[in-house]
Structure 1
Amino acid sequence: MPQHYPFTAVVGSDDMTLALLLTTVSPEIGGVLVRGEKGTAKSTAVRALAAVLPPIDVVAGDRFSSDPTDPSPLSPDAPFTSDAGVETRPVRLVELPVGATEDRLLGSLHLEKALSAGVAEYEPGLLARAHRGILYVDEVNLLHDHLVDLLLDAAAMGRATVERDGVSVVHAARFVLVGTMNPEEGELRPQLLDRFGLTVEVAAPREPALRTEVVRRRLAFDADPAAFAERYDASEAALRDRIAAAQGLVTEVALGDGALAKIAEVCAAFDVDGLRADIVTARTAIAHAAWHGRRHVLREDIRAAALLALPHRRRRNPFDAPGIDEELLDRILGDDEPDPEPPSQPEPEQPDQPGPEDGPSEGGPDSPGDTPPPPPRKTDGPSNETPQDPGAAPEDPEGTETRETSEPTTTTPGSAEVTTVGAGAPYRPRLLRVAGTGEGEAGRRSRAITSSGRRIGNTPGTGAGGIDLPGTVRAAAPHQHGRGRRSGALVLRPSDLRGAVREGRESNLVLFCVDASGSMAARKRMQQVKTAILSLLMDAYQRRDKVGLVTFRGLEAELVLPPTGSVEAAARRLEDLPAGGRTPLAEGLLAAADVLRRERIRDPRRRPLLVLVTDGRATAGADPVARSRQVAAWLAEQGIETVVVDCEAGPFRLGLAARLAVELRATHLPVDEVSAEALAGVARAATATPGSRERGVA
């Protein structure tokens, strides 16, 4: 019974299948990242890919899949004897689990042989197994940072270096890295994102006929996998032959001067970072030409390559969706075909004559006069930022001020006006931390006992930090005489095993509780508040946190965004956040407490950090001030780490947010001091003052 769905039976994901095939034709492209909503056949297509790849030859008995034609293989099992055989085997698809340990990825000392026989032997990891194959990471955006660092090193160098537990090994690790992810569960670390040669966005088809065909095929496969796969045997074999032909042709494809210049023009126009985009686009265009059986790169090859290689490299803000303007791309490429002459061929004496072998291309050879000047750069969509207006109206405590007619306004019960203001440019914020030491998921915010980090001790048994070999030996040493050891190997018992205890950083749940009432709605103030929150969201994105957003205005509070790993979604909700009306402070605190209570049940190991953004006013309901104080005192008893971002502005301040911070036993942080640069001097002065309280802020 076949284990995987046939690759040629996948429908409705043409960009994804093309990207996967191109990176197998030319592994130097650097792999594929597939982004998309759940249920879009991402994993199905990747797992089916290995079955259509042509087999490879390896040195018989070599654990590191060395190429028999390689004169100096980088394998710990080398050198090989002259009579070493050759094996032909399928290309491996190696899956890297999100929760894998560093030992599992890199390999390490063979623990059983080391302890029982005293032999220091290296046991290969997943990188060794993936050499000359595919390394697949499902939910790659959830991969722990220490594994990301190892993948970055291996992908950049083409080899893995192991220096640990008395083992010193270097072996080849050239693989096609394929990752799939759902952006709603969090974004990918930028350094790893850049290592993927190509990226594609997939979504469920919207055409009813295509959706019907997808469901029909899936039901048929589930009912009888063998019969379903047999129907696609011929197409799978044809695809395998086409891949083999393209792999043989790719080294013969000529990248002409005109095509290379056009690739550079496209990359420059889209303002990509570095030159890796130019290299990857060129390699992809060559692979695309080979895939279609051509020996020269044409305009359509460059276009297809740019759509796959540039979206994730375009310079953008962290929360902007990837993508490129296809109309701009078509204008840059023009209608003429690029010069088919390869770069190594000398230029003809007459610049307007065709090449000696192939004749003129369909659109004629490229020349400086034939290429129109690039159009002015533009963004992929309208900017979300609202222009600064020096004539903004003054603030009003309850949102009754007159605002610009250019601002979109609406009215709701219990409020005067509601307005929406965009955020300004984000900055590097001060680091907010949860006090104490947690045991949550590895991240980059608060101190915690995690699976990675520095070793600070050990504990009986095994744990997420791996085996503590020195601790295990020390535990067994005093009992050797009683166990009858006179010489030879160490005599071990299960009770001797010790697990390493490591201290690192954890990710947290950062819940923003934002006052969106009329007293916050003045344009300048709301823009400052949104900019501060956006900056803190960027910080949460970099530290792998989950985030949530609660707002309160008018007469009630609302959970705008349930806790999620997609910080990008929080940024979008923040941008559209309206402001106006009264201030139901108590309702906002109660809504935040309810969200944190539910999340504690769902994920008890993840510690929360509540960020309350308010000016401290309470104006909605009966006796709002007394009720707000009562709720704040109750919330303080829950032991929730809280930071009050004080948004009060103007020369005359009431200090209500500072009093609220005292009642919440929280850290008080003025909004204009959220910036790390602005707080440098304040932090030094505060830590030097006796009795100052810095809990939660670092």
Structure 2
Amino acid sequence: MPTQYPFCAVVGSDDMTLALTLVAIDPLIGGVLVRGEKGTAKTTTVRGLADVLPPVRAYRGDRFSVDPGDPSAVSPDGPFEAGTPVVERPVRLVELPVGASDDRVTGSLKLDSALRDGVVEFEPGLLARAHRGLLYVDEVNLLHDHLVDLLLDAAATGRVSVERDGVSVEHASRFVLIGTMNPEEGELRPQLLDRFGLTVEVSAPREPALRVEVVRRRLAFDADPASFAAAWAGEQDLLRARLGSAQELVRDVVLDDDALTTIAEICAAFDVDGLRADLVTARTAAAHAAWQGRTHITREDVRVAARLALPHRRRRNPFDEPGLDEDRLDDLLGDDEPDPGPDDDGPGGPDGSGSDSPQDGPEDHRPADAPGHSPEQDEQQPQPQPAGAGSVAAAGDPARARLLVVRGTGEGQSGRRSRARTPQGRVVGKRPEATSGRLHLPGTIAAAAPHQQSRGGLVDGRGLALTPSDLRRAETVGQESNLVLLCVDASGSMAARRRMEQVKTAVLSLLLDAYRRRDKVALVTFRQHTAEVVLPPTGSVDVASRRLAELPAGGRTPLAEGLERSAEILRREALRDPSRRPLLVVVTDGRATSGADALGRAHRSAAHLAATGLDSVVVDCETGRFRLGLAAQLAGHLRAEHVPLGEVTADGLTDVVHAATASREGAA
């Protein structure tokens, strides 16, 4: 087994290591979500955690790892007799791939036993293997919806029930859920976000000395992993022992009325949803006290708990910035600190270190102020304004967009928008050549049954005789996600502040809807003499809201350039993600005033797009008593639905797109 980078050797990620330590002390906290940019040792740190956790006891041969010390624990592999051997084994770190099938996650019929021996046997899935351990999902924000639903069920009930293909099994599945993600690649579903007890924001350290130490340690590990791990073995053993002591001590930590009242006041003041925040904060404060070797709660315990448990629960919608006002938190906590209890061995617990971080090892050159910087310090700087920027109108609050659908049936990634053939969904038939995908067991058996006599199957105790030609794949229909590309005229003819406010509000509304439906959204604007990709295809509302905050208007109308840039994006995305079907929405009055034969070039560009079979809508923003009808001409060349619209309102735009695409789907 390859040597794992030591958990104690991780530098510059104090909040992350502390959060992982606290959930290891009390798994009922609910797991950790780590948000951060690329290259910040998120995966390395998570994988190193399992190595410092105290081992667990289990019955030998029990695939479901029930606790021998819990009389109520029942394993499908049981019952176990009184003399059944009990063994100690390391805590498992189970990695859940974002593209896993539900059979792989929850378990399924063991096909080789069923087909060879005629025996119905259950093959446990990843959730069974993760019981009493860690379940890690890298890029958890990209997890398919059907897997999110399975995780939510297991996290809420602590059990997994499998009822399929003649198998009926229920088993315990309690695990520490750990997810890592890059917010620029899309957001997390609110239901799953709430299931994470703690969340931390990580970024690369800015101090040169700290960055040098990170590189030095990594180079040393890559050069000789075994020697590097041996040098940190002592620190790993100390941390493992301290964790074991904290796991025992946390049961004795007293959450008195004063501490609970303080936690309730903080949660109410920050206006978090529900009562899960209160429970998680209380458990985290108790775990932090146990980590410090105490059985009473202090002001610092509550502060640490609130800083880790509340930021992601304050977001009312995906456009809200995560984070917590720590000055306000300090005001709510006050300055009075209770006297140390008789069991208090000092500010750092039994070892008197005075540090929250579990990574104080040899040659630790971290600056004294490295731990605990707030997420607000890591906010990105606003994008510079382009040269020649015109007037700027702010967007209003995003409205709830109506459903956008693309006609026909696609085969894109699972989502919540258009009809598609997906790995999950309602079974509508079967297909041959089941080289991949979900097996259609009844169809497979039916295809093989007529040939059993000639193959000698089902006689003398033999099982069903199969050949590859018998295999059938289940054909399922669900919903897919799409790419919504908005091409918006930001020239002088559209520069009225009210009109641009409504256009930008509509874009934000569509983006919010796309977040809920797991779509991608892109935005191209054209003005002056060029077209600009304001928002590349993304599902991240954080990035989108920042990019759309300042959208200038004014100048000439390069309509052809806007359509050509849109076509370029669609071509590139078709190569990158060929299964994701696009919808183009052009918001314009149809004018083209940039360059020679501007209108002719625009119409030719539209005809070229139409030849690709693209679904599109033209929203006519021409106003006034005398109208030229240029947007209608553009729609004709684009073979798009033309919708005259006196003013571009958020409701009007989303309703127009919905009506046009829904009518096309009905016609298909």
In structure 2, how many angstroms separate the alpha carbons of the residues matched to 1:256 and 1:166?
A: 50
Which residue number in structure 1 is paired with residue 636 of structure 2?
662
- Letter of the 1:435 counterpart: R
Asked whether the 8 Å contact 2:107–2:122 carries over to 1, the reply is: yes
1:526 aligns with 2:500: yes
* Pairs within 5 Å for 1:30-49: 30-49=30-49
In structure 2, how many angstroms separate the alpha carbons of the residues matched to 1:412 and 1:242?
A: 58
Q: Which residue, out of 563, 568, 573, partners 2:542? A: 568
Q: Does the C-alpha gap of structure 1 residues 83 and 112 become closer, same or farther in structure 2, counting only changes over 3 Å? A: same
Q: Does the C-alpha gap of structure 1 residues 198 and 649 become closer, same or farther in structure 2, counting only changes over 3 Å? A: farther
Q: After TM superposition, give the deviation of residue 549 of structure 1 in Å.
A: 2.0
* Pairs within 5 Å for 1:166-185: 166-185=166-185
- Letter of the 1:665 counterpart: R
TM normalised by structure 1 equals 0.85
In structure 2, how many angstroms separate the alpha carbons of the residues matched to 1:682 and 1:472?
A: 41
In structure 2, how many angstroms separate the alpha carbons of the residues matched to 1:293 and 1:227?
A: 32
In structure 2, how many angstroms separate the alpha carbons of the residues matched to 1:232 and 1:123?
A: 38
| Helix, strand or coil at the partner of 1:451 | strand
- Letter of the 1:279 counterpart: L
Superposed CA offset, 1:65-122 (max 9, x none): 0111111213212322121221111100001011111000000111111112111111
In structure 1, how many angstroms separate the alpha carbons of the residues matched to 2:326 and 2:132?
A: 34
* Pairs within 5 Å for 1:349-498: 418-485=390-457, 487=459, 488=461, 489-498=463-472
1:675 aligns with 2:651: yes
Asked whether the 8 Å contact 2:108–2:167 carries over to 1, the reply is: yes
1:506 aligns with 2:449: no
Q: Which residue, out of 597, 610, 624, partners 2:598? A: 624
| Helix, strand or coil at the partner of 1:279 | helix
In structure 1, how many angstroms separate the alpha carbons of the residues matched to 2:601 and 2:514?
A: 32
In structure 2, how many angstroms separate the alpha carbons of the residues matched to 1:99 and 1:681?
A: 31
Which residue number in structure 2 is paired with residue 124 of structure 1?
124
Q: Does the C-alpha gap of structure 1 residues 653 and 51 become closer, same or farther in structure 2, counting only changes over 3 Å? A: same
In structure 1, how many angstroms separate the alpha carbons of the residues matched to 2:17 and 2:385?
A: 46
- Letter of the 1:477 counterpart: A
Asked whether the 8 Å contact 1:54–1:90 carries over to 2, the reply is: yes
* Pairs within 5 Å for 1:89-100: 89-100=89-100
| Helix, strand or coil at the partner of 1:462 | coil
Return 5+ residue gaps in structure 1 as ranges.
341-354, 363-379, 382-408
Q: Does the C-alpha gap of structure 1 residues 303 and 179 become closer, same or farther in structure 2, counting only changes over 3 Å? A: same
Asked whether the 8 Å contact 2:409–2:420 carries over to 1, the reply is: yes
Asked whether the 8 Å contact 1:608–1:640 carries over to 2, the reply is: yes
Superposed CA offset, 1:552-597 (max 9, x none): 1011111223223324312221121111111111110011111111
In structure 2, how many angstroms separate the alpha carbons of the residues matched to 1:7 and 1:298?
A: 27
Which residue number in structure 2 is paired with residue 535 of structure 1?
509
Asked whether the 8 Å contact 2:403–2:658 carries over to 1, the reply is: no
Q: Does the C-alpha gap of structure 1 residues 212 and 634 become closer, same or farther in structure 2, counting only changes over 3 Å? A: same
* Pairs within 5 Å for 1:118-157: 118-157=118-157
Superposed CA offset, 1:599-621 (max 9, x none): 22222222222222223222222
Q: Does the C-alpha gap of structure 1 residues 262 and 675 become closer, same or farther in structure 2, counting only changes over 3 Å? A: same
Q: Does the C-alpha gap of structure 1 residues 120 and 693 become closer, same or farther in structure 2, counting only changes over 3 Å? A: closer
Which residue number in structure 2 is paired with residue 52 of structure 1?
52
Q: After TM superposition, give the deviation of residue 429 of structure 1 in Å.
A: 1.3
Which residue number in structure 1 is paired with residue 351 of structure 2?
none
- Letter of the 1:157 counterpart: T
Q: After TM superposition, give the deviation of residue 316 of structure 1 in Å.
A: 2.8
Q: Which residue, out of 528, 540, 551, partners 1:554? A: 528
Q: Point out the structure with the larger helix share.
A: 2
Which residue number in structure 1 is paired with residue 160 of structure 2?
160
Superposed CA offset, 1:407-428 (max 9, x none): xx99966xxx711111111112
Q: After TM superposition, give the deviation of residue 44 of structure 1 in Å.
A: 0.1
1:74 aligns with 2:50: no
Asked whether the 8 Å contact 1:546–1:567 carries over to 2, the reply is: no
| Helix, strand or coil at the partner of 1:171 | strand
| Helix, strand or coil at the partner of 2:21 | helix
Q: Does the C-alpha gap of structure 1 residues 626 and 128 become closer, same or farther in structure 2, counting only changes over 3 Å? A: same
**Worse-matched range after superposition: 628-637 or 12-21:** 628-637
Identity %: 68
**Worse-matched range after superposition: 212-221 or 515-524:** 515-524
Q: After TM superposition, give the deviation of residue 477 of structure 1 in Å.
A: 1.0
TM normalised by structure 2 equals 0.89
- Letter of the 1:124 counterpart: P
| Helix, strand or coil at the partner of 2:240 | helix
Q: After TM superposition, give the deviation of residue 463 of structure 1 in Å.
A: 4.9
In structure 1, how many angstroms separate the alpha carbons of the residues matched to 2:142 and 2:458?
A: 49
Which residue number in structure 1 is paired with residue 359 of structure 2?
none
In structure 2, how many angstroms separate the alpha carbons of the residues matched to 1:656 and 1:410?
A: 31
Which residue number in structure 2 is paired with residue 345 of structure 1?
none
1:544 aligns with 2:518: yes
In structure 2, how many angstroms separate the alpha carbons of the residues matched to 1:652 and 1:80?
A: 86
Size of the alignment, in residue pairs?
629
In structure 1, how many angstroms separate the alpha carbons of the residues matched to 2:27 and 2:238?
A: 21
In structure 2, how many angstroms separate the alpha carbons of the residues matched to 1:325 and 1:332?
A: 11
Q: After TM superposition, give the deviation of residue 258 of structure 1 in Å.
A: 1.5
Q: After TM superposition, give the deviation of residue 630 of structure 1 in Å.
A: 2.1
Superposed CA offset, 1:314-345 (max 9, x none): 033312221011111111111013699xxxxx
Q: Does the C-alpha gap of structure 1 residues 682 and 426 become closer, same or farther in structure 2, counting only changes over 3 Å? A: closer
**Worse-matched range after superposition: 622-631 or 224-233:** 622-631
Q: Does the C-alpha gap of structure 1 residues 470 and 358 become closer, same or farther in structure 2, counting only changes over 3 Å? A: closer
Superposed CA offset, 1:144-189 (max 9, x none): 1000000000000001111111111110000000001111111111
Asked whether the 8 Å contact 2:592–2:598 carries over to 1, the reply is: yes
Asked whether the 8 Å contact 2:315–2:321 carries over to 1, the reply is: no
In structure 1, how many angstroms separate the alpha carbons of the residues matched to 2:405 and 2:636?
A: 18
Q: After TM superposition, give the deviation of residue 468 of structure 1 in Å.
A: 0.7
Which residue number in structure 1 is paired with residue 566 of structure 2?
592
- Letter of the 2:443 counterpart: G
1:244 aligns with 2:220: no
Q: Does the C-alpha gap of structure 1 residues 573 and 82 become closer, same or farther in structure 2, counting only changes over 3 Å? A: same
Q: After TM superposition, give the deviation of residue 696 of structure 1 in Å.
A: 9.5
Higher relative contact order (CA 8 A, sep 6+): 2
In structure 2, how many angstroms separate the alpha carbons of the residues matched to 1:300 and 1:696?
A: 60
- Letter of the 1:572 counterpart: R
| Helix, strand or coil at the partner of 1:601 | helix
In structure 2, how many angstroms separate the alpha carbons of the residues matched to 1:58 and 1:151?
A: 24
- Letter of the 2:130 counterpart: A
Superposed CA offset, 1:31-66 (max 9, x none): 000010110000000000000000011122211101
| Helix, strand or coil at the partner of 2:255 | coil
- Letter of the 2:231 counterpart: R
| Helix, strand or coil at the partner of 1:480 | helix
In structure 1, how many angstroms separate the alpha carbons of the residues matched to 2:15 and 2:70?
A: 34
Q: Does the C-alpha gap of structure 1 residues 422 and 63 become closer, same or farther in structure 2, counting only changes over 3 Å? A: same
Asked whether the 8 Å contact 1:74–1:170 carries over to 2, the reply is: no
Asked whether the 8 Å contact 2:407–2:664 carries over to 1, the reply is: no
Q: After TM superposition, give the deviation of residue 672 of structure 1 in Å.
A: 5.3
Which residue number in structure 2 is paired with residue 366 of structure 1?
none
